[in-house]
Amino acid sequence: MFERVVVGVDPGTAATGLAAVRGGDRGPEVLEALTVRTPSTAPETERLRTLRDSLAALLHRTSPQAMAVERLMWGRNVRSAMSVARASGVVLLTAADAAIPVHEYAPLEVKLAVAGNGVAPKGDIRRALERIHGIAKLPREPDAVDAVAVAVCHLQQNEALAGLKR
Active site residues per annotation: 10, 70, 143
H/E stretch holding 16: strand 15-22
**Integer Cα distance of 66 and 100 in angstroms:** 6
Q: Could you tell me where the beta strands, DSSP code E, fall in 23-164?
A: 29-37, 66-70, 102-105
Under 8 Å between Cβ of 92 and 33:
no
Terminal Cα-to-Cα distance of the chain (whole angstroms):
10
**Integer Cα distance of 162 and 10 in angstroms:** 25
Compute the C-alpha angle 127/66/12, nearest 5°: 60
